[in-house]
Amino acid sequence: MTKLAAISIHAGIQAALLAVFLHASVAAADTVTLVTPMVYGTHLPGLGAPARQLAKALEERSKGTLRLDLKEPGDGTVPHEILDKVSDGKVDAGFATAGFWAAKVPAASLFGGYPFGPDAQGYLAWFNRGNGRALYQEMYDQAKVKVHVIPCGFGGAEAGGWFAKEITSKEDIQGLRMRIFGLGARVVSRLGAVPVLVPGSGLFQAFDDGKIDAAEVYTPAVDRTLGLQDVVKHLYMPGWHQPATVFELLINQERWATLGPERQALLETTCGERLQTTLSQSASLQASALAALTNQDGVRVLLWPDGVLEASREAWGEIAREEGVRDYFFKEVLEDIERFETGAEQTRLGPAPQAVEPAAAAGNQPAAR
DSSP for 110-162, written as a single string: HHH--TT---HHHHHHHHHHSSHHHHHHHHHHHTT--EEEEEEEE--PPP-EE
Alpha carbon distance 228, 306 (integer Å): 26
| pLDDT band for position 345 (cuts 50, 70, 90) | low
Give CA separation, 333 vs 65, 108, 247, 306, in Å: 37, 10, 18, 30
Distance CA 47, CA 44 (A): 6
Query: What is the tens place of the pLDDT at every residue in 158-191?
Result: 999 999 999 999 999 999 999 999 999 999 999 9
pLDDT given for residue 306 in this prediction: 85
| Span 109-157, pLDDT tens digits | 999 999 999 999 999 999 999 999 999 999 999 999 999 999 999 999 9
Question: Which DSSP category does 38 fall into?
Answer: B
Which pTM does this prediction carry? 0.85
Average pLDDT value for the chain: 88
Give residue 368's pLDDT band: very low, low, confident or very high (50, 70, 90).
very low
| CA gap 223, 146 in Å, rounded | 34
Give me the percent of the chain exceeding a pLDDT of 70. Answer: 85
Tell me if 251 sits within 8 A of 148, measured CB to CB: yes
**Hey, what amino acid is at 73?**
P
Q: What is the pLDDT of residues 208-227, one digit of tens each?
A: 999 999 999 999 999 999 99
Q: Tens digit of pLDDT for each residue in 42-77?
A: 889 999 999 999 999 999 999 999 999 999 998 999
Q: What is the pLDDT of residues 83-96, one digit of tens each?
A: 999 999 999 999 99
Model pLDDT for residues 297-327, shown as the tens digit of each residue: 999 999 999 899 999 999 999 999 999 999 9
Ordered domains of the chain (ranges, CATH):
13-156+244-286 (3.40.190.170), 161-242+294-321 (3.40.190.10)
3-state class (DSSP) for residue 280: helix
